[in-house]
Chain A
Amino acid sequence: MKFIISLILIALISFALCTVFPWWSIAPAAFLVSVLIPQKASVAFLSGFLALFILWGGYAFYISNINDHILAHKISVLILKNDQPFVLIAITALIGGLVAGLPAFAGSLLRKPSFPNNPSI
């Protein structure tokens, strides 16, 4: 349950911060949530990673889909030298996931390990 909550919180706070602040505000968002919600470090990483992987991947897919992938075709040729719109979406998701997963990991390490037993997922 904690996992789901922190995943959703990270996604929501990231989205909110990004309406005003630069893209990398997803990192402090993930960090903050994992400081507040104690989880095993590996689980925290996963919650941060998945939160942004889904948020960025999903949002990019949504945008690209109603665009008939016109732009994704062109940008993938430009950046990847290959006409692969879905790879571009995957890379978007991956970058979001990494930049949120790592600070989530770092944040959870700052908490004392108060849950020696299996954490609830």
Chain B
Amino acid sequence: MRIFLSLLTMLVTAALCFIFDTKQVLPAPLGKLLSPQHGVWQNAEPVHQDFSADISFPQLKNKVDVYFDERLVPHIFAEEENDAYFVQGYLHAKFRLWQMELQCFAAAGRASEIIGEKAIDHDKEFRRLGMVYAAENTLAEMEKNPAIKAECDAYTAGVNAYIETLTQSSLPLEYKLIGYFPEKWSNLKSALFLKYMSYDLAAHENDFEMTNARSYFKPDVFHKLFPAQPDSLDPIIPRGTHYATPSVDVHAPVNMDSINFSGEAVAMNQLSKPDRENGSNNWAVAGSKTKSGKPILCNDPHLGLNLPSLWYEMQIHTPQFNAYGVTFPGAPSIVIGYNDSCAWGVTNGGRDVRDYYEIQFRDDSHKEYFFNNNWEKTNFRIEKIKVAGKPDVMDTVAYTIFGPVMYDRNFGVKRNTTNKSFAVRWKAHDPSNELLTFNLLNRAKNYEDYLTAVMNMQTPGQNFAFASKSGDIAMRTQGFFPAKWKEQGDYLMNGTDSTFLWRGIIPQTEVPTQFNPERGFISSANQHPADSTYPYYLGRDYPTMRGFIINRMLTGMNNISPENMMQMQTSNYNVFAELAKPAFVKYFERQKFNSKEIQYWDILLQWNLSNDIDARGATIIDVIWKNLFESVYEDEYAKAPKPVAYPLQTTLLEAMLRDSSYIFTDDISTTAVETWNDMMVAAYKKSLPVLDSITRAGKLEWGKYKDTRVNHLTKLDAFSRLHLPIGGGSNIINATRDTHGPSWRMIVHLNNETEAYGVYPGGQSGNPGSRFYDQFIDQWAAGKYYKLWMMNTTEISSQHIIAKMQLHP
């Protein structure tokens, strides 16, 4: 009996161990996770953790000292440049390994391996877009350069040196929660990370939507919906700049419209897209406009706001250079920052470098396609998508002269394009060496060095702002962009011959650049790089409002101090509302509403046009505007094929300001001819119940209505920061929306002794159990900055240092 009871108890014990070790019964392996020696408790970092260490790495050539300041920013002092990249890789891994690897898995179309079948669509899309193909091409080009090869090898070795130390108990928290173990790092993974940035910043297009819009609307209607350039445009390189005759022929083929555009709509579900507002601000003011007489450079790149942050702050000091700024966990070098001679910052170029060509396959095997009167052979890339807990998913992607056939009948239920096949031509597929840009910028001493450095940046195209201690400022709308004729690539193109191929890349000598302009400042905010006299087609999908207000503010400012720049960078002034409000007032008929209904209108009238946290007017105009947009266009769009492109917000705004008899104000479903007045009444009427319910929820204040949050990459609330008190929004310099906004704010005053400020919405540690995880978020939300410390070797006993890591061979 005792033996039987003993065996039974053992069995129960074994069952308990199984239950607490796996996800079979409970949703989480609670024993494994809560064992204080193995599980998540090990990730609870003591608040007074000492990060000091003395570690030997045979991979190092010489000793490296790392000083951590009170914000856990490492200051790396290396005797050998490549040792610095080794340590950069080691520190990125130590503090950010999980996000680095996750981003690479996502880039490579391997997310299903980690999160299971819900990521299959994502993985298919990324593989069909040719992300790994692109990364391989870039890697081959990078490794042709011995310096960059050595840099990447050292970085990879550093990441792997950290991964090799990992045990179950020292694994980053997310690995434990999801239940997997990191792979070795490789140079290809750094290349994949860079391609992920290309996807985020240089993969935006509306070709299917525009094709459908153009097939549906009559030409005159279409051109009113999608004008070539907005009137309010204040381009990056100012109007009136002279441009040379283009060296690449940009005359459209004579038969363009008939072949380029078949007039047939393409039905499909195009789901995920990089954020249209992945934008940014940068500007630099010359000494002529500053109090000190020295330039000030400012930059705030707007991206998805996540924890752990995309950015990791760092100083790298080697005999060759000394640079400070933010880095990408996943790649070597300082990406945005400054050195002892100059500062640089970027905004996204936003040009369309992703086009589609319709492919005529010979038969269903997709082995051959018709091109220039021949049957050309495709190359197949077999994609095996591993799925956690499920069988592998296989996909075959045919590669053509244009690129991979992304959309065809095999894509999957949601993306099938029935009988048509489209290959994607994406500039990011081409060999390039973007890391060389940052390698050279880190050591740039002057304008010439800066130019040499940035000219290696092919994709994503970036507007590089520059300022130097010698007093120069510059802006270059950098990138390797296809030389397009007007509207080339706005729609799906015919791929049966070479007529519609990109004819070439705009030569670097013809890239709009501005050096020490008379107006005393340079700036960019993702608007058109140049005016319509620039000979190459630039596309039309650019936001214009931030550029407009930045230039207006800078024009009016003199005697500028870094504090003025902070106020400007965190300004909530809504210039879009400034323009829209008078038009609203012009067409609004007050008498049509009762005293209760009119209360929102009265709040709007008294609003100071600033999207501050407590501004109710900002919420009201946002709601009315959305309803106005809908009222004006919904009747025309009611029967349009999906997906379809909609006009830009600025198109409606400009129509309202300049066109008192805009054709779209007429509701085509009625016999009467409606006017702007009718649209305003309709929009306000539709807004009332919405505003009432927002008021009831206590969310009429802009900050509450907008509800900014910084999500953990898993979107788990427990690891995210919710309901942040911060103003700003679209079309505003402080471009903070709900989950998107200034991902790093930096101000560098190139005075005799450089004075720099910065802040990002995150923290240096990626570990949710560390006090450094979200340390900067409140400071960022409050619009405050940290003084950046470019440490020098005489300051090794500074009170700012909380730990010293000594690394040696």
Q: Which residues on B sit within 8 Å (CB–CB) of A3?
A: none
Binds A, one of B14-22, B621-629, B751-759: B14-22
Contact B36 A95 (CB under 8 A): no
**A98 vs B16: C-alpha distance when bound (angstroms):** 8
CB distance from A106 to the nearest CB of B (A): 4
Q: Which residues of B contact A103 (CB under 8 A)?
A: 9-10, 13
Given contacts A99-B31, A103-B9, A109-B2, contact A71 B37 (CB under 8 A): no
Per the bound structure, the CA–CA distance linking A91 and B28 in Å amounts to 13
Contact yes or no, A24 B768, CB < 8 A: no
Task: Say yes or no: A78 contacts B43, CB within 8 Å.
Answer: no
Which residues of A sit under 8 angstroms from B717, Cβ to Cβ?
77
Which residues of the other chain, A, contact B391 by a CB distance below 8 angstroms?
none
- Interface status of A63 (Cβ within 8 A of chain B): yes
CB distance from B231 to the nearest CB of A (A): 50
Most B Cβ at <10 Å: residue of A59, A75, A109: A75
Q: Who on chain A is nearest to B173 by CB? A: A71
A70–B43 touching, CB < 8 Å: no
Q: Report the minimum CB–CB distance from A8 to chain B (whole Å).
A: 17
List of B residues within 8 angstroms of A64 by Cβ: 41, 44
In angstroms, how far is the closest chain B Cβ from the Cβ of A45?
9
Contacts of B770 in A (CB 8 A): 70
Decide if B769 is an interface residue (CB 8 Å cutoff): yes
Question: For B21, what are the chain A residues with a Cβ–Cβ distance below 8 Å?
Answer: 22-24
Could you mark each residue 39-63 of chain B with 1 if its beta carbon is under 8 Å from any beta carbon of chain A, else 0? 1111111111000000000000000
Q: Which B residues between 212 and 250 are near A, CB-CB below 8 angstroms? A: none
**CA distance in complex: A4, B9 (Å):** 23
Q: Considering the chains assembled together, what is the distance between the CA atoms of A70 and B35 in angstroms?
A: 18
Which one of B30, B38, B42, B769 contacts A95 once the chains associate, using CB atoms below 8 Å? B30
Residues on the B chain within 8 Å of A92, using CB: 34-36, 41
Are B20 and A99 in contact (CB-based, < 8 A)?
A: yes
Q: CA–CA, A18 to B31, complex, Å?
A: 12
CA distance A63 to B40 in the complex (A): 11
Interfacial chain B residues near A71, Cβ < 8 Å: 40-41, 43-45, 173, 768-769
CA distance A103 to B16 in the complex (A): 11
Q: A60 — which chain B residues lie within 8 A by C-beta?
A: 34, 36, 41
Q: B17 — which chain A residues lie within 8 A by C-beta?
A: 24, 27, 99
In the bound complex, how far is the Cα of B35 from the Cα of A23, in angstroms?
6
- State the main secondary structure of chain A at its contact with B: helix
Assembled-state Cα–Cα distance A19/B47 (Å): 23
Q: For the complex, what is the distance from the CA of A71 to the CA of B13, rounded to whole Å?
A: 29
**Cα separation A74 to B173 with both chains bound (whole Å):** 12
Q: Which residues of A contact B12 (CB under 8 A)?
A: 102
User: Is the CB of A118 closer than 8 A to any CB of chain B?
Assistant: no
* Chain A residues with CB below 8 A from B6, complex form: 105-107, 109-110
Provide the bound-state CA to CA distance between A24 and B14, in Å. 9
Known A-B contacts A102-B13, A106-B13; A66 and B40 likewise in contact (beta carbons under 8 Å): no
| A56 close to B (CB within 8 Å) | yes
Least CB distance from B47 to A in Å reads 5
CA distance A74 to B774 in the complex (A): 13
B-contacting residues of A (Cβ < 8 Å)? 15, 18-19, 22-24, 27, 31, 55-56, 59-60, 63-64, 66-68, 70-72, 74-75, 77-79, 88, 91-92, 95-96, 98-99, 102-103, 105-107, 109-110, 113
A-B contact pairs, 30 of them (CB 8 A): A18-B35, A19-B37, A22-B21, A22-B168, A23-B21, A23-B32, A23-B37, A24-B20, A31-B10, A60-B41, A67-B47, A70-B773, A71-B40, A71-B43, A71-B173, A74-B769, A79-B33, A95-B30, A96-B35, A98-B16, A99-B20, A99-B31, A102-B16, A103-B13, A105-B6, A106-B9, A106-B10, A109-B5, A110-B2, A113-B2
Residues of B within 8 A of A (CB): 2-3, 5-7, 9-10, 12-13, 16-17, 20-21, 28, 30-48, 168, 173, 177, 716-719, 768-771, 773
**Extra A-B contacts (9), CB below 8 Å, given A59-B36, A75-B718, A92-B35:** A18-B35, A23-B21, A23-B38, A27-B17, A59-B41, A60-B36, A95-B30, A99-B31, A103-B13
